[in-house]
Amino acid sequence: MINQSLADAFSRIADLMEISGDGGFRVNSYRRVARFLESHPTNIAVAAADGTLTDLPGIGKGTADKIVEFIATGRIKLLDELASKLPPGLPELLRIPGLGPKKVAAIHQALSVTGMDDLKRVIESGELAQLPGFGEQSVKRIAEGLVFAEQSGERSPMGIAWPIARALADAVAELKGVQRVEVAGSLRRGAETIGDVDLLCECADGGPVVTAFTEFPTVKRVLARGDTKGSVTVGIEREKELKVDLRVVPAESFGAALQYFTGSKEHNVRLREIAIGKKWRLNEWGLFDGEKQIAGKTEESIYKKLGVVWVPPEIREHAGEFDLHETPTLVTTDDIRGDLHVHTTASDGKSTIDEMAEAAKARGYEYLAITDHSQSSRIANGLTIERMKQHLADVRAADKRIKGITLLTGCECDILTDGKLDYPDDILAECDIVVASIHSAMTGGQRTPTERLIAAMENRYVTIIGHATGRLLGTRPPMEMDMPRVVQAAAETGTAMEINASWQRLDLKSDHVRLAIAADVMLTIDTDSHRAEGLAQIDLGIRTARRGWATASHVLNTRPLDALRQWTAKKRQK
């Protein structure tokens, strides 16, 4: 849907205006439009086509014109004009955690900083720490954020790349002569961020297919075009571009190519070593004994011929998969019976209790936990104790009213700086599910993040630790913590740890999942959805869980409702 792209564009306009010193009213008006577009439940292009944009709240004629312009051309003239008046590298500083438009403007005006290299210079020289409004601790965090931004800047989150890859694969599949299309590369392996997208298609005549691919409407630039390969870029958020490669291969080599271009590099090297040990040759065209191809039409044929167990793409990292004696049955989306962490309009969600319930029913879920924010999350419209009591009553009433699914009462309770919880135990006891999370003071406080998480787990009413590291992919680095200590505490207290499937988070990451499984810690895979359509992000969490070798038995919300209740009751009875 185009709403998010438009929201990004209007947010960018506001950012560039603020850097340029424009007035607060105009800046805030563009931010309000961005927030409206981001939360609008239907495709804004429909209202543009109907000529009813100005009937929507906060959309005046000027805004409507810009929306129509973007839909028609993919650009907004005002945004281009604002960008042209600033040094090209200056807006990129907004990617650094802790640097907002006002601070970027101050650094630019006072120290002539125009990009990352200049920022490094004034940090190293000590000039930035002398600037009013900054200071040693602030500059230290900016320096850390600079390193983080440089490391993450060239990669795109899986949740951004997957819809693009899937849409392009579906479009290629419709082309004449194409028999099959698959997504390969690190995206197929479920990597949390990817550098580019790899598509493979089976076709006898590649030239026309590649030409058509490079002429798709979403293509921004054509990098290469031949008879068997095409490379293009497509636009993604914040005016960034994502590289997409399409390779056309014959049927007899499709499995070999899929295996080769899926990787990982380390996994492929080991496979080639095994082939060499048998005096065979393995490449993207097949497995060969001399000049004779002996496998390659399917992936499975290659692994079988080499005497190696075929493993799912997510665990092809040369991290123990070659020691397996049978293919593991990793968790799948079909195993999930419910979501244990979602929000509604009671706090900062965009869908009502009923809308979330109906969306969960449509997915075939048996249960859904409504876990709105607690009172300290003021920016998220967190619920005071009195509002929470009413909300619990509202969830129970909805559970009686809505047939075909069980609604569980719950909350996402803030873990405060001293490790205490945001609600008293008598409120937590009223909840079926309590997700405890850190949302503030991530770099400091009375206690470290490790101590705060452990203290929360020691409360018998805490069911799940939500998004434990607090990271946002490409935007905010994880909190510094002793994850082995946290995992051990989860094991000792009987607390589950969440794989947050929101595309910005994917937290726990796959390495932490393996650590939790090794310690016999129960996991949950939740979407942290703030709107009904967000429930679909469970697929991203599933991929992360699979990369951590999780089976259905490791995941709490694969269990039937009675078994879920039995598990959650154990801790409360201690």
Output Rg (C-alpha) for the chain, integer angstroms. 26
Q: Does an H or E element contain 212, and which?
A: helix 206-214
Which single residue is written with the structure tokens 């999780």?
550
> Hey, which residues does 225 pair with through a beta bridge?
230
Using alpha carbons, list the distances in angstroms from residue 200 to 70, 311, 379, 449.
31, 20, 45, 44
For residues 466 and 371, give the distance between their C-alpha atoms in angstroms, rounded to a whole number: 11
Per-residue pLDDT of the chain (574 residues; tens, 9 = 90+): 577 778 888 988 988 888 888 767 888 888 888 888 877 777 788 888 888 989 888 888 999 999 998 888 778 989 888 888 888 888 888 878 778 888 888 888 888 888 888 888 888 888 888 888 887 888 888 887 777 666 555 688 999 999 999 999 999 999 999 999 999 999 999 999 998 999 999 999 999 999 999 999 989 889 889 999 999 999 886 667 889 999 999 999 999 999 999 999 999 999 999 999 999 999 999 999 999 999 999 999 999 999 999 999 999 999 999 999 999 999 999 999 999 999 999 999 999 999 999 999 999 999 999 999 999 988 889 999 999 999 999 999 999 999 999 999 999 999 999 999 999 999 999 999 999 999 988 777 788 999 999 999 999 999 999 999 999 887 788 988 999 999 999 999 999 999 999 999 999 999 999 999 999 999 999 999 999 999 999 999 999 999 999 999 999 999 999 999 999 999 998 7
For residues 438 and 27, give the distance between their C-alpha atoms in angstroms, rounded to a whole number: 30
Predicted pLDDT of residue 422: 95
DSSP assignment of 68-127, as one string? HHHHHHS--HHHHHHHHTS-TTSGGGGGSTT--HHHHHHHHHHH---SHHHHHHHHHHSH
Pair 260, 283: CB distance under 8 Å: yes
- Amino acid identity at 125: S
Predicted pLDDT of residue 353: 97
- Amino acid identity at 416: L
Please state whether beta strands 241-249 and 196-202 pair in parallel, antiparallel, or not at all (unpaired). parallel
Helix (H, G, I), strand (E, B) or coil at 421: strand
In order of their start, the domains of the chain are: 3-152 (1.10.150.110), 156-323 (3.30.460.10), 333-572 (3.20.20.140)
Judge residue 249's burial from the number of C-beta atoms within 10 Å of its C-beta, 0-12 exposed, 13-18 middle, 19 or more buried. Answer: buried
Judge residue 255's burial from the number of C-beta atoms within 10 Å of its C-beta, 0-12 exposed, 13-18 middle, 19 or more buried. Answer: buried
Contacts of 287 (CB under 8 A, 6+ apart): 256, 275, 280, 281, 293, 294, 295, 296, 301, 302, 305, 306
